Amino acid sequence: MRSEKMRCGLGLIGALILASISVSPLSRAERPSLSRSAACSGRLLRLDRQWVRASARGLFLSRDQGASWHRAGRGLAPDVVPLVLCAAPSDPHRLYLGTLRHGVYRSDDGGATWRPAHHGLPEASIGEILIHPEDADLVYVATDLYGIYRTRDGGESWEPANDGLPVPLAYRTFTPRLVMSPVDASHLYVLIGAPLHSHRVDQAVYRSRDGGDRWERFADLPDETSVEDLRISRYDPRELEIVLDGKVLRIRDEEVEGESSAWEPTEVREESQVAGALDFDAGEIAVLHDDGTLLHIFDLEKKTLQFTPLGNGGFSVALSDLLFEEELGQRLALRNDDALEVTLPFRFPFYGRERDRMFVNSNGSLSFGGWRLSPNPSTVSDLPLIAPLWTDLDPSARGGVFLNATSERVVVTWNEVPEARTSNVNTFQIVLERDGRFMLSFRRVDAQTGLTGVFNGNVLAQILFGRSVDFSDRLPLRDSTLPAVYELFDGVFRDDRIAQRFYHSHADDFDMLVVFGASSIPHDVTDGPFVYYKPIRNDVNGIGQSVGTFHGGPRAFGSQGRLQGFLNMNKLSRYPADPEQVFYNGIYSALTLLARETGRRWTAYVNFNDGGVESSALRSYANEWSFFLDTDASVMGGNNWVDNGDGTFESLEAALRYSPLDHYLMGIRSPRDIPDFFLIIPPDGYTRRTASSPPEVGAIVPGTPKMITLQQIIQVEGQRAPAYPRAPTLFRQAFILVVPKGETVSVSDLEKLDRLRTEWEIFFRIATGGRARISTRLKTSP
C-alpha cells in the first residue's frame, strides 16, 4: 500500500500502547478519528467499545481499547490485503473495506462477518471510500487507475462516476483524493493526477454539484509538486485545503450555490484533407510538410481578438477578420528589452480597477503598475498585463512602436518590428477604448512563437484558475471571470494532427509512430522534456498500466485501432550524426534514448508486495527504474550494481540494454526465466543520490540489498496477459520527419535519420537478447 493511502480522518487521539500478541502497535496513520467524517482512508475504526483494525495481515478486533487483539474477517478471501476501512455515519455497524486487488467488502455487524460488495468494480486498488452521511447505501470509491465508482445499493452494484474526469489513467500517479461538502452531500471534489505523457502529470481538482453525475475542472495545481491530501476546512465548509509538499493551499469555493463561469462550447471543426502533394516517403521515412497545423505556432495573422468587459469584472472574447487602425501616431523611443511609461487620456477599466497610466513594453505587451522587460513569455504575471504578442522583439533594429492617443481611444502599434537577431517582420496593434473594450489585431506576424493573452496580476489565482485556450478554435468565450486567458504559441508538435496527416497516406499497420522535427526548426518541439512517449492504447494486463485508451484513443490520432503510442523525439539537430555517440545526460546515445522511450510502452510502472504492503520503490517519480535498482544496466533506468562487500555498491554499467524484468513486462520472456534482483536501501539521511537520479557509471553508494522476486510484482499487478509466448515479439514503428512550413526536406536530415532508423532495428534486436524485433518499413495504402 502506498504511503499516501495510510491517512486517517480529521483529528487523532493520543498515542496508544498496544499489548498485542499478533499485530504491531498502531502507526500514526492508523490512530482512530474523533470525527464522524463521511470520507476516510484510514485503517482503524472505533465503534463504541469495539475497535476494528485493518493491517497487511488481515482484519483484527479489540474489545478492550487496543490492549489485546484477535483475528476477525470471517467471509474475506484468504489473500485479501486490506487498504482502507470505513463506517457509515448513519449506521456505525455498516462497514466497508477497500482492498488491494479484491475490490470492496461489506459488513453489517461491525466487522464480525463480511461479504463481497464489488460487482461492477474494475480490478484495481481501492484507496479511498466516501459514504453519504445519511444514506449508508450510497458510497463512492476512488481507484488508482479508473477514477471514481459509485453504488446506490450498498455495493450490490457499482457504476462509474467519471463523466468529465480524465480517466482511465495511462499509469498510476497517486490514488485520487475524494471529499464531500459537509453542507451539501451532492457537492463533491476529487484531486486527480493524470499523465499527459511520460514526463508530465496534470494535477487538478475537479468538482461535481450533482453527486458525481458530472464533473468540471475546478482548480489547476503545479505539475511538479507532491500531493499529500485534499480536505474540507474544519472552520469553513466552503474552503478546500490542499496539502502540497507539506504546505497547505486554501481555495474557497464561492459558487457552491451558484453558476460558475464556463467556456462556451464550440463545434468541432472538420479536419482539412491535406495529405498533399508535398508529403512523400523517402525510402522508409515519411516526410510531412507543415501547413500551419502540425506545429503549435502563431496562427492569428489577419485576425482581430475583441475583448468586451462585463459587469462582473470579466470579459467576453470574440475572433473576427482583421480590424486595423491605419493612423499610427508618434514613434516611441524604445530600445531592445525596454519599456516606456505612458499617461492615458482617460481612466481605462481593467479587471475591476481603473488605470490612468500604463507601460508599453518593447517585447509586445502593455502592463499596469510596472514594466515587463523579459523577452521570455510566461503564463503567469504579477502585473496586470495585456499581451498582443509577447516574444523577443527588437524595435531598435527596424520599424518601431507607435502611440496614437485620443480622448476616446489609445492605439499602440508594433510596426514591422523584427524578432531580436532576425530579419523577420511583425506588425500588430492593441486598441484600448474608453469604456474598457480592447482589441488585439495582427496584420503580419512572421514570429512563430510567443504568447497572446491577458492577466490580472494575481499569480496564485492564475496558477489555480488561469486558462490556456486556442483562440483560433475556442471562441467565442462568454462571461469569463478567469484571472488569465492566454494562448502560448510554443512551437511544439501537435501530436494528434501529425498522426492524422500520416494516416491520410499510410495504412493502419503500426504500433507506434516515431516523430522527429527537421534540423531547421529554430526551437524544440516538445513541451518541456527533451523527448517523450505518449500512451494511446494499452491492452496488456499485469504491467502496472490500466487497460484502455488515452488522449482520445487511436481514432483521435487517425488510427482505426492499432496505434499504441506516439514518440516525440524532438528535432534532429539535437542529435549527433553517430547514433551510438553518448550525448544526453552523459549516459544516453540516440539509440539508447530511443530504446528508453519505446520501452515506456511496457515499463516501468509496476509495484511490488513488500511484506503485505504495496510498494512503488522499484521506480522513480518519472516511471523509470529507481537509481538504486539492480537492472543489469537497463535503458529504463537503474544500474548494473556490484556488491563491494563493505556495505557499499558500485555501478559498473548503465543504460545499455533491456533487463530481464523489462523482457517479462514486454511479453518476450517467460516468468520462470526472470532471476531475482535487488534494491539498494541507502542508510537514513543519505541524500547524495535519490531514486530519481539518472543512471551513472562508477557511482558508489552505501546501503543494504533488499532481494525482490518477480512473484512479488505479480502479487500486486497480476499475471501478464497476454503472457509469453503468446504475446507478440514483432513491433512495427513508422519513422516520420516533419518539415517546417515553406521549406523542403534536406538531404542531410534524411541521411541522418535513415542511419538512426536502420541501426535502431539492429540495436533493438540485441537489447532484447534476440527475443523481439522492430520493423520500421513503411507500407503505403493503395
pLDDT in tens, 592-612: 999 999 999 999 999 999 998
384-421 in b/e form (b: 16+ CB < 10 A) is: bbbbbbbbbbbbbbebbbbbbbeeebbbbbbbbbbbbe
Mean pLDDT of 30-43: 44
Q: What is the pLDDT of residues 529-546, one digit of tens each?
A: 999 999 999 999 999 999
* Structure confidence at residue 40 (pLDDT): 62
521, β-bridge pairs: none
The pLDDT value recorded for residue 246 is 62
What pLDDT is recorded for position 259? 37
Beta bridge partners of 444: 427
What is the Cα–Cα distance from 143 to 177, expressed in whole angstroms? 10
Asked if residue 347 has pLDDT above 90, the reply is yes
Rounded to an integer, the average pLDDT of 501-507 is 95
Proportion of the chain above pLDDT 90, given as a percent: 71
- Tell me the domains of the chain and their CATH numbers: 3-252 (2.130.10.10), 303-489 (no CATH), 608-717 (no CATH)
d(CA 746, CA 768): 33
pLDDT at 254: 74
Averaged pLDDT for residues 13-23:
26
Q: Measured between alpha carbons, how far is 732 from 249 in angstroms, rounded to an integer?
A: 46
**What is residue 253's predicted lDDT score, i.e. its pLDDT?**
85
- 713-753 pLDDT, tens digit per residue, is 999 999 999 999 999 999 999 999 999 988 889 888 999 99
When pLDDT is averaged across residues 763-782 and rounded to a whole number, the result is 86
| 3-class SS of residue 393 | strand
pLDDT computed for residue 46 by the predictor: 76
CA-nearest of 277, 448, 306 to 386 is 306
Q: What are phi and psi of 12, to 5 degrees?
A: -135, 140
Residue 11: pLDDT over 80: no
pLDDT exceeds cutoff 70 at 480: no
pLDDT of residue 38: 46
- Confidence grade of residue 273 (pLDDT, cut at 50, 70, 90): very low
Residue 781 has a pLDDT of 43
Q: Say which residue, 762 or 68, is predicted with more confidence.
A: 762
Q: Which whole number is the average pLDDT over 250-277?
A: 44
Mean pLDDT of all residues in the chain? Answer: 88
Mean pLDDT of 437-450: 96
Please name the residue ranges forming H helices in 628-674. Answer: 660-666
Residue 562 has pLDDT above 80, yes or no: yes
Beta strands 44-47 and 39-40, pairing class: unpaired
Is the pLDDT reported for residue 26 higher than 60? no
Q: CA torsion 756→761→763→767, rounded to 10°?
A: 140
pLDDT of residue 476: 79
Model confidence at 772, in pLDDT bands (50, 70, 90)? very high
Task: Tell me which of 267 and 762 has the higher pLDDT.
Answer: 762
Alpha carbon of 309 to those of 144, 319, 360, 436: distances in Å? 43, 15, 21, 6
Whether the full predicted model's pTM is greater than 0.75, yes or no, is yes
For residues 334-348, give the mean pLDDT: 97
Q: CA-to-CA distance for 772 and 668, rounded, in angstroms?
A: 7
Neighbouring C-beta atoms of residue 50, cutoff 10 Å: 18
Q: What angle do CA 740, 744, 748 make, to 5 degrees?
A: 100
Element (H, E) at 499: helix 495-504
Pairing of strands 365-367, 613-615: unpaired
The answer, yes or no, to whether residue 50 has pLDDT greater than 50, is yes
Confidence of residue 255 (pLDDT cuts 50, 70, 90): low
Question: Per-residue pLDDT averaged across 166-178, rounded?
Answer: 91
pLDDT, tens only, 56-112: 667 888 887 666 778 888 899 888 888 889 999 999 889 999 998 899 999 998 888
Residue 19 has a pLDDT of 25
pLDDT at 67: 62
Question: What average pLDDT score do residues 493-506 get?
Answer: 96
State pLDDT tens for residues 508-523: 999 999 999 999 998 9
C-alpha to C-alpha distance for 96 and 84, rounded to whole angstroms: 8
pLDDT tens digits for range 608-643: 999 989 999 999 988 999 999 999 999 999 999 999
The DSSP line for 588-615 is: B-HHHHHHHHHHTTT-S---EEETTEEE
pLDDT at 429 over 90: yes
Q: How far apart are the first and last CA of the chain?
A: 52
